[in-house]
Amino acid sequence: MGFFTDTSICIGCKACEVACKEWNQLEGNKPELLLDSFDNTGQLDAQNWRHVEFIEQIPDNNGVVMTPTPIAGGQAWLMMSDVCKHCQNASCLEVCPTNAIVRTEFDSVLIQQDVCNGCRDCISACPYGVIGFNEKTGTAHKCTLCYDRLQNGMQPACAKACPTESIKFGYLDDLQKAADQRLTALQTAGYKKAQLYGRDATVYGGLNAFFLLMDKPEVYKLPNAQNAVLPSRNNLAGYAGGFVTAVIGLVAGVLAFRSNRMSEKSDAAR
């Protein structure tokens, strides 16, 4: 099961953020004036498991459109309700040394709060900056896909609250069909940049929370397929580099200590 977030109909109302905080009893961070459009949460973290991004694409002073889209004569105000992607090949799950991060019966990725010891390796690994460290609990936190609600036959709070149905929850097959139809409709209407992100296996084996975007993934602070790489890619090369260094270091040490031993022997022979 998962989410399909259709950013083309997100109105930036933040009902998802509020519903998430309310259901999951998240206190939220201290309010700050970020001077970043209508954004006042800033990022996903331990207190923000949903975060509505506001991306203003407007002409510069010369009237040249920086990132043209066919919306509103070249101007666009993109909004996206970001969330944990519950990746099929999850970086956080891969590196977690305590097995605190598991895949649930709903195919979501969950941090078991009673097992996590707050090492923060998952934060280092998550390519989406989804996971945050909660100072009070001393553990890592992120969206649970409302695991407790799912266990009780309810849909996640954010999807329930979304007034435009930008956030859809359901079985992946159904969501993917709906996403394909919506993409076709948008492209037919002239929105050539519209694209699906994480719908197929090109990004982390597929995302259980995938998106319909109105521009390139990078615009929404999402790594493109080329940059969506697992931490383990560096395992072999990293250890091989260490091994070769160790061998050279040993040789360097032997040369330093052995040379004098030989000269001492030759001195003794004389």
Contacts (CB under 8 A) with another protein, residues 135-154: 135, 137-140
- Grouping H, G, I as helix, E, B as strand and the rest as coil, residue 108 is coil
Given candidates 48, 91, 144, 176, which one binds another protein under the rule CB under 8 A? 91
Residue the block writes with tokens 């975007």: 213
| Ranges within 43-62 binding another protein (CB under 8 A) | 43-45
Q: Using CB under 8 A as the criterion, what x/- string covers residues 94-123 for binding another protein?
A: xxxxxxx-x---------x-xxxxxxxx-x
Collapsed DSSP state (helix, strand, coil) of residue 223:
coil
Beta bridge partners of residue 139, listed in sequence order: 134
Nearest CB to another protein, comparing residues 89 and 155: 89
Distance (Å, rounded) from C-alpha 88 to C-alpha 99? 16
> How near is the Cβ of 157 to another protein at its closest, in Å?
23
b/e sequence 18-37, b meaning 16+ C-beta within 10 Å? ebbbebbebeeeeeeeeeee
Tell me the torsion sign for CA atoms 190, 192, 194, 195.
positive
Closer to another protein by Cβ: residue 28 or 249: 249
Measuring CA to CA, which residue among 24, 3, 14, 43 is closest to residue 196?
Answer: 3
State how far the Cα of 124 lies from the Cα of 39, in Å rounded to an integer. Answer: 24
Q: Rounded to the nearest whole angstrom, what is the least distance from the CB of residue 160 to another protein in the complex?
A: 27
- Least CB distance to another protein at residue 179 (A): 22
Q: Is 241 in the site for another protein (CB under 8 A)?
A: yes
Residues 204-223 that bind another protein (CB under 8 A): 218, 221-223
Taking CB under 8 A as the criterion, the residue among 11, 66, 189, 254 binding another protein is 254
Which residue, 73 or 253, is less far from another protein as judged by CB? 253
